[in-house]
Amino acid sequence: MPFTDRSDLFGAVHEDGINRLVRHIMRQRPSLFNYATPFFHNNAELFCVKFEVDDKVLKAKNPLFTEQEPLPILGAPVPIGLNFCLQLTDAQLDFHPGNVFGLPPELGRLADQRFALRLKGCMGIDCPPKELIDELLPLIERYLVAQQQLAIGETKERVPGISTHYTPPSSAFDNRERERPRTVALPTRSLICFCLELYAVGHFEWGTVPGSQQIWLKTRLDGLEIVDIEPKDMESAIECYLTTVLKLGILPRLIIPLEKMVLDISKEFQEMGLTLGRTVTLQPSAVPADVPNNPAVEEDQIKAFLKLTVTGGA
Amino acid sequence: MADLTVAVSESAFQRLFVVLRDSIRWEAQDMTNFGPFTAGYHVKGHLEGGSVDFRADNSVLIDELDVRWDKFEFTLGLDIPEICVGGGCINMPWPIPDICLPRWCVFSANPDISISPDLAAFVAQELSVAGRPVVRYYDASIPPPVIDPCGFLRDILVDNSIIDPFPDHNQWHIHLNPDFIDLDLFDFADIVGNLIENALTAAVTALLPGGWVRDLILAIIGGIADFIRWLLDIPDEIDEWLSDLFNISFGLGDLLIQLIGEFFGACVPLIRVDDPLEVLGKEISTSVLLSGSPVELVAVTVPVRSLSVYVDNVEMVVQADIGG
């Protein structure tokens, strides 16, 4: 059957292509998928999961991860924290029929016109050894006592052994930033790592938005499941929170107005130096008049159907 | 199944072809002196007719596209040196006024003789071309052959800023390889048809200034002119049919044009796709490091594999895979 039997222009992307594209991005922009404290620049072997990096990233000396402040130790009188890393190690998409990965039983079988997403993330947090805590505790206590003395008007005392301010090495640093104290990470020898797998199922739909005359393409979340978190209520609470974040926080930002999907071919030709006497546009085929689903999620692909419209002129 | 598929229907191509055809117009004029001679031209034209047909043998036929001239004027001029007789004055003694002879000059204008015939009504061309898309892989690491006619042609086109130079990285190239080109330099069928139609239309319009009777007669004249065009075009139709059948142009001129077309088709790609293809450009980020120092992140590229283009009788399909 021809691709364009129901439209003028047809475009499709296979799930294998998208998943391969994601892997290329992971290898060439590792900083989008790995987050860690600066400590990891010299201790990359401590990452929870080793990740592949393209040679050109190493050659260009691009950072392998996005730097994060250490995880603050709540209640500590000085800004100290723990080194940690957060890695998105796997991201896969599966268009109906599901065959790239199995869905957890809670989400059931992947239904028609649905897509599934699998994300695997790992987090590693430093666990300071008992000796270090024993070493630091007297200093903290002494600092707290010194602070109390300061509070009642006694002389300021500098506590030896604890640096409360991190001075960044870069000279190109904003003055306000320089004044802000940075959290100092405690020395780290090893991390405790754990990984979680998240599965989500969703679909696309056309609809209106109150207060707008436009038609919008919306991505909808049908279900979400985090595998193997105990106790069950904690799993449910986290899943509920993530579902709410996705439904109310992230997906509403991804809605696309129909007008944005219309390509003005006349304008494209004009940029090439040829003024067309008529207006030629490419716009999505109507649902259900032209096609039953647009975009359609089927045969392991996402498919878009477009029609060419010529208006104006003779 | 391919990772990426894009298909365009024949009907969409046909509609776009009509819009493009109606939008393409050209005009040029110039004048040059060669000593006493002057030569110039003023041409203005547009395209008419023609059709696009996708065929099951992986080819596209653009059939009987007419090149029409609104002005096809050539000027030839001759500037003859000025010749003057008379003039001058005879001084007479006072108080008799001087006697001045009248002066007569010929060939004072520039040019003195000029002819500018407008041949628009007698000039019309018709183009039919069939070709098929061919995909080739350009490997930048392979040195060009010692004798490289394609490289010679490309260098000329690059030097004249007609095409971009070939890059230092690999590319997929989509060429259009012509099967046959039929260019009728003098489309007699249309020239005669137009002349008859114009003459009869002018006569009828002079006799009947308006009304439905005139419209009816003009419609009949149009039909007769079309019939004459069709009748006179039969030999050319046979020529095109044979060319299409044997995939070769008949006639010395057409053969030459086909050879040039094939040379261009083989050497100059219509579309180029970088391999690897950039999907995320270089980016200067200030959010990767805590210090906020700018970092230039490298571009993200993906290898393009198995690029293919094919045509059948309903659509043109482009497919490609993303390499691992």
Q: Which value does ipTM take for this structure? A: 0.82
Place of tokens 């404290």: A37
What is the C-alpha to C-alpha distance for residues A309 and A9, in angstroms, rounded to an integer?
Answer: 11
Q: Does A88 touch chain B (CB under 8 A)?
A: no
Best of A1, A6, A13 to mutate (most B CBs within 10 Å, chain B) = A13
Question: For A6-15, B22-31, B221-230, which range has the lowest pLDDT when averaged over its residues?
Answer: B221-230
CB neighbours of A122 closer than 8 A, spacing ≥ 6?
A48, A49, A86, A87, A89, A193, A194, A195, A196
Structure confidence at residue A204 (pLDDT): 94
CB count within 10 Å of CB B201 equals 16
Question: Cβ of A2 and B312 within 8 Å?
Answer: yes
Question: Cβ of B12 and A9 within 8 Å?
Answer: yes
In this structure, which amino acid lies at residue B7?
A: A
Q: For residues B69-84, b (16+ Cβ closer than 10 Å) or e, as one string?
A: beebbebebebeeeee
Best of A16, A174, A272 to mutate (most B CBs within 10 Å, chain B) = A16
- Residue B289's closest chain A neighbor by CA? A67
- Which is higher by pLDDT, B12 or B34? B12
Q: Does B300 touch chain A (CB under 8 A)?
A: yes
What is the C-alpha to C-alpha distance for residues A10 and A2, in angstroms, rounded to an integer?
Answer: 10
Which residues 126-185 in chain A show a CB within 8 A of chain B? 168-170, 172-174, 177, 182
- Say how many CB pairs under 8 Å bridge A and B: 140
Nearest to B315 among A3, A31, A313 (CB): A3
Question: For A265-274, B12-21, B44-53, B258-267, which range has the lowest pLDDT when averaged over its residues?
Answer: B258-267
Q: Is B84 helix (H, G, I), strand (E, B) or coil?
A: strand
CA of A101 to nearest chain B CA: how many angstroms apart? 18
Residue range B155-183, pLDDT digits in tens: 888 888 888 888 899 999 999 888 888 88
Q: Which residues of chain A have pLDDT under 70?
A: 150-180, 313-314
Place of tokens 């039929």: B182
Structure confidence at residue B227 (pLDDT): 72
pLDDT class of B248 with cuts at 50, 70, 90: low
Q: Is B251 helix (H, G, I), strand (E, B) or coil?
A: coil
Which residues 17-46 in chain B show a CB within 8 A of chain A? 19-20, 22-24
Structure confidence at residue A172 (pLDDT): 44
- Residue A58's closest chain B neighbor by CA? B298
Question: Cβ of A168 and B291 within 8 Å?
Answer: yes
Stretch B113-129: mean pLDDT: 83
Question: Cβ of A10 and B7 within 8 Å?
Answer: yes
Stretch B261-290: mean pLDDT: 90
Q: Does A16 touch chain B (CB under 8 A)?
A: yes
Cβ pair A76, A22 in contact under 8 A? no
Question: Cβ of B280 and A7 within 8 Å?
Answer: no
Closest CA to B226 of B260, B265, B257, B200: B200
- Which is higher by pLDDT, B246 or B304? B304
CA of B37 to nearest chain A CA: how many angstroms apart? 36
In this structure, which amino acid lies at residue B115?
A: I
pTM attached to this predicted model: 0.78
pLDDT class of B116 with cuts at 50, 70, 90: confident
Question: Cβ of B297 and A301 within 8 Å?
Answer: no
Structure confidence at residue B126 (pLDDT): 86
Q: Secondary structure of chain A in the HEC alphabet?
A: CCCCCCCCEEEEEEHHHHHHHHHHHHHHCHHHCEEECHHHHCCHHHCCCCCCCCHHHHHCCCCCCEECCCEECCCCCCCEEECEEEEEEEEEEEECCCCCCCCCHHHCCCCCCCEEEEEEEEEEEECCCHHHHHHHHHHHHHHHHHHHHHHCCCCCCCCCCCCCCCCCCCCCCCHHHHHCCCCEECCCCCEEEEEEEEEEEEEEEEEECCCCCCEEEEEEEEEEEECCCCCHHHHHHHHHHHHHHHHHHHHHHHCEEHHHHCEEHHHHHHHCCCCCCCEEEEEECCCCCCCCCCCEEECCEEEEEEEEEEECCC
Nearest to B12 among A38, A269, A308 (CB): A308
Question: Cβ of A28 and B301 within 8 Å?
Answer: yes
Q: Does A268 touch chain B (CB under 8 A)?
A: no
Structure confidence at residue B201 (pLDDT): 79
- Residue A180's closest chain B neighbor by CA? B291
Closest CA to B63 of B162, B169, B181, B167: B181
Paired tokens of B260? 């040039």
Question: Cβ of A4 and B2 within 8 Å?
Answer: no
Q: Does B301 touch chain A (CB under 8 A)?
A: yes
Q: Is the pLDDT at B237 greater than 90, yes or no?
A: no
- Residues of A in Cβ contact (< 8 Å) with B5: 3, 10-12, 301
Structure confidence at residue B257 (pLDDT): 77
Structure confidence at residue A118 (pLDDT): 97
Paired tokens of B199? 């003459």
* DSSP state at residue B204: H
Q: Is B173 helix (H, G, I), strand (E, B) or coil?
A: strand
Structure confidence at residue B61 (pLDDT): 94
CA of A97 to nearest chain B CA: how many angstroms apart? 14
Nearest to B6 among A11, A31, A68 (CB): A11
Q: Does A69 touch chain B (CB under 8 A)?
A: yes
- Average predicted confidence (pLDDT) for chain B: 85
CB neighbours of A99 closer than 8 A, spacing ≥ 6?
A300
